[in-house]
Structure 1
Amino acid sequence: MLKRFGFFEESSPREALRDLRELQMMGPLDEEDLVLQYLSQGTMLFEANSDAYDRLMDDSVMIGPPDVFSDGEWCWSADVLYYIRNYHIAVESQFFDWMQKNHWKCPRIVSAEALVQSNWQT
């Protein structure tokens, strides 16, 4: 099963705000640019047909679609990049360690469809 990070749109506004504030207090990371580079290189698993809104504002700032990306071990929502760039949130320590172990190069997924089928209940 894929480990998940940053699915703030799935949480209630109160939970998302709490989680984001916690991650914000842990950041910024010295390796923030490397984290952003890694996350930007992920393979898209799902294209969202809705938009995410800034949970740290009053939900009036549209971020864009919360598409889902993966490296084969972890998956994350596209809005994570927005929160890192704008609010300097940290990522979970296990995810950070995984990125570091991969020398900040996001592994390419050969078959996103197969990964989705094996990891997602539809």
Structure 2
Amino acid sequence: MPEIVDGIKIAKLFDGTRDGAPYVVDRPALPIGPERADFLAYLKKGKIVMRAAGQSVDRLDESRGKTVPIVFLTDGEWVWSASIGYYLEEHGLPPEPEFLDYLRARDFHYVTPTEDKVRTAGRAVRGE
């Protein structure tokens, strides 16, 4: 289940960590193809609600160094990290099923959120 803050759902990158290593549970693969391309395109359309300087270390392959974007985006209903797209493209890590189901139900059609929803999403990410 996604975390919900002020009515905004926050997509999880990982389901947890065990001994410092991230893991996911029961996530069906999202193979290379049109649906995966639509998913990645949708992620990139989101309105930015928070951006940090620099990049973070790849938690699945630390030898890659700091290559993971630190950006959070929204469509007004969900907030997601740009790292979701990074880990899918670089490691084949599938997205959280509820988030993917939501985008499928929208047929990956992005609707620009109102500024009020963008502000609410930003507060949700910052924990305000």
TM range (shorter): 0.7 to 0.9
- Picking from 3, 6, 20, the partner of 2:9 is 3
- Picking from 91, 113, 122, the partner of 1:116 is 122
Structure 1 residue 36 and structure 2 residue 40: aligned?
yes
Query: Which is worse superposed, 59-68 or 86-95?
Result: 59-68
- Picking from 94, 99, 102, the partner of 2:106 is 102
SS in 2 for 1:82: helix
SS in 1 for 2:10: strand
| Structure 2 runs not aligned, ≥5 long | none
Percent identity for Structure 1 against Structure 2: 21
Query: After superposition, where does 1:53-68 map in structure 2 within 5 Å?
Result: 53-58=57-62, 60-68=64-72
Higher relative helix content: 1
SS in 1 for 2:70: coil
What is the TM-score when the length of structure 1 is the normalising length?
Answer: 0.76
Letter matched to residue 39 of structure 2: V
| Structure 1 runs not aligned, ≥5 long | none
> Number of residue pairs matched?
116
Contact 2:72 2:82 in 1 (8 A): yes
Alpha-carbon distance in 2 for matches of 1:113, 1:12: 33
The residue that corresponds to 1:26 in the other structure is 28
What is the TM-score when the length of structure 2 is the normalising length?
Answer: 0.73
Letter matched to residue 14 of structure 1: G
Quickly say closer, same or farther: Cα 1:78–1:33, change in 2 above 3 A. Answer: same
SS in 1 for 2:104: helix
Higher relative strand content: 2
Alpha-carbon distance in 2 for matches of 1:96, 1:56: 21
